[in-house]
Chain A
Amino acid sequence: MTQPDFTEHRSMLSNSVADFARGADLARVRKLREGNPECDRKVWTQMAELGWLGVLAPEASGGMGLKLGDMAIVAQGLARALTPEPLTAAAVLAVRVLADSRNDVLKGMLLEGLVSGEILPAVAWQEEAGSLDVNNINVQATPAGDGFRVNGSKRFIMGATSADGYIVSARSGQELVLLSVPRDTPGATLQFDALADGRQSGTLTLTNVIVPKAQVLNSGAAAAESLARAIDHTAAIIGAELCGIMSRSLEITLDYLKTRVQFGKAIGSFQALQHRAVDLYIQQELSSAVLGECLAILDGEPDAKTRAATASRVKARCTDAALLITRQSIQMHGAIGYTEDCDVGLYVKRAMVLAAWLGNGHAHRRRYAKTEILEGAL
């Protein structure tokens, strides 16, 4: 049976997110610029208690076993409040990969820890900028003892600063393997690059890291498929975050258009700005329509090709719309929009970070063209 109490779950989630967002203030978000950690473990525990980290996790691991459509409510609501914690990286990307693991002992331990907020794993799969292909990797896992010796580097890891460990994809001969590498493993070093929104992108370098067999989460075609699905689902939920970002940014801007007076009138009475606001609103509604339909398709577990195309539709549209809306929010605020103190700047920055994560508009259009257009044309 699918969720019989589907609407009830959703309204419960949206109420709890709304309560949380009301209490959240942007001062904490601003502090990120000064090098404060992006994940406050107290807040993280609170999120776990509210059940958000386990929305997608199976009930056996303490999760709720709900759908992407439910997860999107949480992600969108928290994005509106610019919550910096790596909710999507952990509760979607890591949860999906872990839930598919065939190593029951490790899977149980990590998933339960993740859902309860005690263990925060980060997925480290990508190596090349602009690539969405899980097989496009060079990190090598060579047999050693009963496990592997791993060498290479992973980039663009979200949620890496506070992560207790990494889920690393590696090449072992022709196969892909997914390995659990705890943070303090000898030979594993981390570097960080600051992102526009004050959060950090992690680069993990593995030098002769020994991973025993007990730390292998998945391997072969199942591992590649699991990772690809997790990435598509995460891209769609990032789309939900982008919807949260654009809607709040537009809301702030519409308020400003109604209150800022120049030439003796609210600037919102100038038709040039009215039409622009309407165009932005259309983009917002288009994004939310695409998001809603695509999440339902993804929740129906389509074949891999449809899944990828669907996720790409969401990510491309939501990225472009959020970038446009947030940038126009600066423009319509005038000089004040170009200051650090103005909140629209925070939305611009978060939009840019979400846009670039797991494929920007260009990357997703390119992927969509490859499978949906060019292949058919051949």
Chain B
Amino acid sequence: MSATAAVDYNAMDDDAFRAEARAFFESEYPENLRFLPRRLTWAESKPWWMALSKKGWLAPNWPVEHGGMGLEPGKLIIYWEETERAGIGRMPDQGVTMVGPTLIRFGNEAQRAKYLPKILSGENVWCQGYSEPNAGSDLASLRTEAVLDGEHYVINGSKIWTSMAHHATNIYVLVRTDKQVKQQRGISFLLVDMKTPGITFRTIRNIAGHEEFCQVFFDNVRTHKDNLVGKLNEGWTIAKGLLTFERLNIGSPRRPLQAFEQLDTLARAQKLFDDPGFVDRYTQLKMDLNDLGSLYQRYVDKARRGEALGPDISMLKVFAMDTYQKLAELLLEAGAEYGAYADEITLADEKIDLMAQFYTSRPGTIYGGSNEIQRNILSKYVLQLPG
């Protein structure tokens, strides 16, 4: 465990903490990887992962005793904000964002001792095996099953859309362990080594042509029963329990800021500010983004006060993702003929990849609960409409 992990960041003044984060991110993060309109591969991420790890800053959300920074919500939000400000790319971070918190909250001592250090050291890279070909929005209908056989669970079935599975060393999966009960009650949470015999995968290219995700096949894959997280058939509760706080991050108004800066560059280069029609749409989006900031801030304040974030936080994702898509669409339209270019263009000495921004804006309304599903949640649990 690194020496700096002992610093009590929560005792620091907010501005001082922000300044330290900013200075660190600005000086140490590789320049060529800033503001990429896509996720980073593991190979690209590794040096930064290790730099964070060395400083003890890899897992801001984990408690200090597990090698994290132990940040309280207020400080954690500053950390995220500065990450976005510096244009730091999204790494294959499932180990830090999902596995760590899950094991800390629901796992046992042996599991924490076995897996947490390997996440921090970059030895283990995790991927998330939730979705299946026939269980997407209706995740609870998943059918990949695990049957106890002596000391092992034997897994059969298949997971799909597993982001970056081809770079991962481990996968956490939701599996069916009881078919007799209500769907949600028969699901368990298992940890599996990707090298286990019986696991195969095929990579899937996304719409932009990048190998972003995989279908993972399980053919009599054996994982030791010690890899069951929480109790048997408690997997659904575990999976759901983690989501709300993470949803705050996805609603951050800083994410679309880079697209907005590109829109600005483009508009200047193409003299679009002379066009009142454009100015109106530009201003509308600029104000939408500001307003998204207000909504976000309301949840940030709530989290800072230590209050629970309820199902209403779905609105943050809906509005954030819709706004980002509108912005990317306006970017293409403002590009006029360039809006059809597949690759980066250079305008007024700046490089802009309009199409990459467009592709990146699309899946946010699909993954992590589609915008339709978020609206269903809002209408059912917040508005309490019948049906």
Which residues of chain A have a CB within 8 Å of any CB of chain B? 33, 126, 129-130, 155-156, 193-198, 201, 261-264, 270, 272-273, 323, 327, 330-331, 334-335, 337-342, 345, 348, 352-353, 355-357, 359-363, 365-366, 369
How distant is the Cα of A340 from the Cα of B375 in the complex, in angstroms?
28
Q: Is the beta-carbon distance between B134 and A353 smaller than 8 angstroms? A: no
Chain B residues whose C-beta falls within 8 Å of the C-beta of A352 in the assembled complex? 332, 339-340, 355, 358
User: In angstroms, how far is the closest chain B Cβ from the Cβ of A269?
Assistant: 13
Give the 3 A-B residue pairs with the shortest CB-CB distance, closest first: A130-B336, A356-B340, A340-B205
Q: In the complex where A262-B138, A330-B207, A348-B207 touch, is A366 in contact with B340 (Cβ < 8 A)?
A: no
How distant is the Cα of A126 from the Cα of B337 in the complex, in angstroms?
10
Count of residues in B whose CB is under 8 Å from the partner chain: 44
Q: Is the beta-carbon distance between A340 and B207 smaller than 8 angstroms? A: yes
How distant is the Cα of A186 from the Cα of B367 in the complex, in angstroms?
54
The answer, yes or no, to whether B108 is at the interface (CB within 8 Å) is no
How would residues 122 to 135 of chain B score, 1 for a CB under 8 Å from any chain A CB and 0 otherwise? 00000000010010
Q: Is the beta-carbon distance between B341 and A195 smaller than 8 angstroms? A: yes
Chain B residues whose C-beta falls within 8 Å of the C-beta of A156 in the assembled complex? 337
Chain B residues whose C-beta falls within 8 Å of the C-beta of A360 in the assembled complex? 333, 336, 339
The answer, yes or no, to whether B278 is at the interface (CB within 8 Å) is yes
The answer, yes or no, to whether B362 is at the interface (CB within 8 Å) is yes
Q: Is the beta-carbon distance between A263 and B138 smaller than 8 angstroms? A: yes
Q: In the complex where A352-B332, A362-B277 touch, is A334 in contact with B341 (Cβ < 8 A)?
A: no
Contact sample, A vs B, 6 pairs, CB 8 Å cutoff = A262-B137, A262-B138, A272-B375, A339-B204, A357-B337, A360-B333
Chain A residues whose C-beta falls within 8 Å of the C-beta of B207 in the assembled complex? 330, 337-340, 342, 345, 348
How would residues 271 to 298 of chain B score, 1 for a CB under 8 Å from any chain A CB and 0 otherwise? 0000101100000000000000000000
Out of A129, A331, A353, A356, name the residue touching B365 (CB < 8 Å).
A331
User: In angstroms, how far is the closest chain A Cβ from the Cβ of B37?
Assistant: 14
Q: Is the beta-carbon distance between B332 and A338 smaller than 8 angstroms? A: no
Q: Is the beta-carbon distance between A357 and B340 smaller than 8 angstroms? A: yes
Out of B329, B335, B362, B372, name the residue touching A129 (CB < 8 Å).
B335
The answer, yes or no, to whether B169 is at the interface (CB within 8 Å) is no
Chain B residues whose C-beta falls within 8 Å of the C-beta of A197 in the assembled complex? 340
User: In angstroms, how far is the closest chain B Cβ from the Cβ of A368?
Assistant: 11
Q: In the complex where A340-B209, A369-B277 touch, is A335 in contact with B161 (Cβ < 8 A)?
A: yes
Closest to A333 in B: B366
Q: Is the beta-carbon distance between B362 and A196 smaller than 8 angstroms? A: no
Q: Is the beta-carbon distance between B336 and A201 smaller than 8 angstroms? A: no
Q: In the complex where A193-B343, A365-B277 touch, is A335 in contact with B366 (Cβ < 8 A)?
A: yes
How distant is the Cα of A348 from the Cα of B372 in the complex, in angstroms?
21
How distant is the Cα of A359 from the Cα of B329 in the complex, in angstroms?
16
Closest to B136 in A: A334
Q: Is the beta-carbon distance between B375 and A356 smaller than 8 angstroms? A: no
Chain A residues whose C-beta falls within 8 Å of the C-beta of B131 in the assembled complex? 335
Q: Is the beta-carbon distance between A341 and B204 smaller than 8 angstroms? A: yes
Q: Is the beta-carbon distance between A338 and B366 smaller than 8 angstroms? A: yes
User: In angstroms, how far is the closest chain A Cβ from the Cβ of B328?
Assistant: 10
Closest to B205 in A: A340
User: In angstroms, how far is the closest chain A Cβ from the Cβ of B284?
Assistant: 14
Closest to B334 in A: A362
How would residues 347 to 387 of chain B score, 1 for a CB under 8 Å from any chain A CB and 0 otherwise? 00000000100100011011100111001100000000000
Q: Is the beta-carbon distance between B333 and A362 smaller than 8 angstroms? A: yes
Q: In the complex where A338-B362, A340-B209 touch, is A262 in contact with B136 (Cβ < 8 A)?
A: yes
How distant is the Cα of A341 from the Cα of B362 in the complex, in angstroms?
16
Q: In the complex where A330-B362, A331-B366, A339-B206 touch, is A363 in contact with B336 (Cβ < 8 A)?
A: yes
Chain A residues whose C-beta falls within 8 Å of the C-beta of B243 in the assembled complex? none
The answer, yes or no, to whether B338 is at the interface (CB within 8 Å) is yes
User: In angstroms, how far is the closest chain A Cβ from the Cβ of B332?
Assistant: 7
Chain A residues whose C-beta falls within 8 Å of the C-beta of B338 in the assembled complex? 129, 356
Chain A residues whose C-beta falls within 8 Å of the C-beta of B278 in the assembled complex? 362
